[in-house]
């Protein structure tokens, strides 16, 4: 009995230590992000984006939009892509064997014309291409119809068809802001190092009103679940990724909106299906490749190009999405375990990957930790003081981080301009620590079990497509 008590006590201290360590990382990111944002805002004041357009040597970009059964959202996405404020770009939509009316809708709406035969340089291996279409209305819009093999394959197919040296991947339910490409490319031209990949901010589009592919008005969604995710996205991008960027440790770029040097992508073999999160895997592979080759490179995150994406509105869809993300995190870390704590990979292997490893295992600690700590108190194993400190670390610090994220947003980009929005976000920032966060930990815990059982299932998330 004493042994069990000691074990439980030991576990409680382990949980305590875990929260201290994780919160230390978060505090570091928050502080670093605060300085980075201030610095970035100063930089933006000196930079006029429209002037930048006057200097014409900005590179052409291929925008890749992989789609699978997206008849509800695809027209809106393509219209917004065609509306982008950028001098030279092409939009390549890759239909990955949709079984609904997606392709028919595109043919009808954009007056697509099928080529009798097509030019296809297979630099990356892909499934069979069935047809190639060009639009009679938009000379820079192309649609590829191919056999289904998954998002990674559709992206590779797009890379093969693309003509330009840089590619930008956009999800079928995502809308990139008009000036997002200009903002990304600004970094490309400013950087002293060869830019291999860049990521921008992903924001929640639920509640946003669009007109002709452009944002008409920014409103908060009516349902609670998307609002929780807005707070989460703000926190994740504005201080999580920005903090990591400042520490030169960007290893995740959101699949909804990433930018790559095409030749670098081809060098490493393109996107792969070795994990369920091809966006995370490719970035880590690029890091590994360039560090092994000892070539200088830059992979980074920029806080002002914005892409709006739809988030799940039901618990079941959210659970699928979070399980997939977390399973992908585990799979990728496992795949690149040789980089972990390996000095050869510098700060990526010795600092950033251990942090993500801590986050990955955190779901299990959190899911088991909460009931164990509470029960330990009720059974008299832990003191009341410990219980209070635990809740301060787990809940109150969580509130502090959420509020910190919203504060960063308000002092920088202010995409939610009304005070009523800010107050509502703050309220949800507090509320998310009482249930929503724990629920997410549980989904991630499920993914941990999936990983341990060897599952590779890609759970398809259905979006409402109601944002208009």
Partner 1 sequence: MLKTLTKENNQNAVFVGFLSISKLIDETHFLIFLYILEEKLEKNILNLKAVSLIITDFIDRHKRKASLAIYDFMKNIDVFKPCRLALLDGIYYAKYFDEILVEIAKKSLDTDNSEILTKALKILSKAERIDEFIKLEEILTFLKHPSWIVKLSALKLLEKNLSPEIADYLIPLLEDKNALVRKYTAKIIFKLPDEVVIRKLPNLLKIKDVYGRDTLVEKLLISGFWDKLKEYSLKIELKEDIEKIMQFLKLNYNMKEDQWTY
Binding footprint of partner 1 on the chain (CB under 8 A): 48, 50-51, 53-57, 60, 88, 115-119, 121, 134, 163-165
Q: How many Cβ atoms are within 10 Å of 407's Cβ, its own excluded?
A: 18
Indicate the residue among 161 and 356 with the shorter CB distance to partner 1.
161
Non-local (6+) Cβ contacts of 232 within 8 A are: 432
Shortest Cβ distance from residue 164 to partner 1 (Å)? 5
Indicate the residue among 113 and 217 with the shorter CB distance to partner 1.
113
Of the candidates 89, 276, 274, which has an alpha carbon nearest to the alpha carbon of residue 170? 89
Non-local (6+) Cβ contacts of 229 within 8 A are: 204, 311, 312, 318
Percentage helix, strand, coil for the chain under 3-state DSSP, each rounded to 5: 55, 15, 30
Indicate the residue among 116 and 371 with the shorter CB distance to partner 1.
116
Shortest Cβ distance from residue 362 to partner 1 (Å)? 45
Largest CA distance in the chain: 79
Indicate the residue among 134 and 325 with the shorter CB distance to partner 1.
134
Shortest Cβ distance from residue 302 to partner 1 (Å)? 21
Shortest Cβ distance from residue 162 to partner 1 (Å)? 9
Indicate the residue among 112 and 184 with the shorter CB distance to partner 1.
112
Of the candidates 208, 211, 256, which has an alpha carbon nearest to the alpha carbon of residue 416? 208
Distance CA 347, CA 351 (A): 5
DSSP 118: -
Per this entry, what is the length of the chain?
Answer: 468
Contact present, 174 and 309 (Cβ < 8 Å) = yes
Indicate the residue among 164 and 351 with the shorter CB distance to partner 1.
164
Non-local (6+) Cβ contacts of 153 within 8 A are: 96, 126, 127, 146, 271, 273
Distance CA 357, CA 264 (A): 26
Indicate the residue among 11 and 138 with the shorter CB distance to partner 1.
138
Of the candidates 251, 240, 83, 81, which has an alpha carbon nearest to the alpha carbon of residue 170? 81
Non-local (6+) Cβ contacts of 289 within 8 A are: 267, 268
Contact present, 59 and 168 (Cβ < 8 Å) = no
Shortest Cβ distance from residue 128 to partner 1 (Å)? 12
Of the candidates 382, 228, 425, which has an alpha carbon nearest to the alpha carbon of residue 311? 228
Indicate the residue among 121 and 294 with the shorter CB distance to partner 1.
121
Shortest Cβ distance from residue 60 to partner 1 (Å)? 5
Shortest Cβ distance from residue 238 to partner 1 (Å)? 28
Of the candidates 452, 248, 238, 433, which has an alpha carbon nearest to the alpha carbon of residue 350? 248
Shortest Cβ distance from residue 66 to partner 1 (Å)? 21
Of the candidates 226, 231, 186, which has an alpha carbon nearest to the alpha carbon of residue 313? 226
Indicate the residue among 60 and 465 with the shorter CB distance to partner 1.
60
Indicate the residue among 56 and 99 with the shorter CB distance to partner 1.
56
């Amino acid at each position: 009995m004493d042994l069990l008590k000691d074990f439980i006590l030991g576990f409680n201290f382990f949980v305590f230590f875990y929260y201290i360590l994780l919160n230390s990382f978060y505090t570091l990111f928050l502080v670093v992000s605060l300085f980075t944002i201030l610095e970035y805002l100063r930089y933006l004041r000196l930079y006029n984006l429209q002037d930048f357009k006057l200097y014409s040597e900005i590179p052409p970009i291929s925008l890749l939009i992989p789609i699978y059964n997206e008849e509800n959202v695809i027209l809106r996405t393509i219209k917004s892509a065609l509306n982008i404020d950028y001098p030279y770009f092409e939009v390549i939509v890759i239909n990955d064997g949709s079984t609904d009316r997606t392709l028919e809708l595109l043919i009808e709406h954009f007056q697509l014309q099928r080529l009798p035969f097509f030019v296809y340089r297979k630099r990356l291996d892909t499934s069979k291409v069935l047809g190639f279409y060009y639009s009679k209305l938009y000379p820079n819009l192309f649609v590829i119809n191919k056999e289904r093999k998954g998002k990674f394959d559709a992206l590779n197919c797009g890379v093969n068809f693309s003509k330009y040296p840089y590619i930008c991947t956009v999800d079928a339910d995502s809308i990139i802001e008009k000036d997002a490409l200009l903002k990304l490319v600004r970094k490309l031209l400013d950087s002293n190092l060869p830019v291999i990949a860049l990521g921008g901010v992903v924001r929640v589009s639920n509640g946003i009103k669009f007109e002709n592919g452009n944002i008409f008005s920014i409103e908060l969604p009516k349902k609670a679940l998307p609002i929780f995710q807005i707070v989460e996205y703000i926190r994740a991008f504005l201080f999580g990724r920005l903090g990591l960027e400042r520490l030169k440790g960007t290893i995740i770029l959101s699949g909804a909106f990433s930018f790559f040097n095409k030749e670098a992508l081809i060098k490493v073999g393109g996107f792969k299906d070795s994990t369920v999160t091809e966006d995370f895997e490719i970035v880590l592979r690029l890091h590994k490749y360039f560090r092994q080759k000892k070539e200088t490179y830059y992979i980074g995150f920029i806080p002002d190009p914005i892409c709006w994406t739809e988030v799940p509105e039901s618990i079941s869809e959210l659970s699928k999405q979070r399980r997939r993300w977390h399973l992908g995190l585990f799979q990728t870390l496992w795949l690149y375990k040789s980089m972990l704590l390996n000095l050869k990979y510098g700060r990526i292997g010795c600092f950033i990957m251990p942090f993500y490893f801590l986050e990955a295992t955190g779901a299990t600690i959190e899911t088991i930790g909460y009931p164990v700590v509470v029960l330990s108190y009720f059974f008299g194993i832990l003191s009341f003081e410990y219980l209070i400190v635990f809740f301060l670390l787990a809940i109150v610090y969580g509130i502090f981080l959420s509020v910190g994220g919203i504060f960063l947003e308000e002092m920088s980009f202010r995409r939610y301009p009304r005070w009523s929005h800010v107050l509502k976000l703050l309220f949800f920032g507090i509320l998310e620590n009482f249930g929503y966060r724990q629920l997410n930990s549980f989904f991630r815990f499920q993914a941990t079990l999936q990983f341990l059982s060897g599952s590779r299932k890609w759970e398809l998330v259905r979006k409402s497509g109601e944002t208009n």
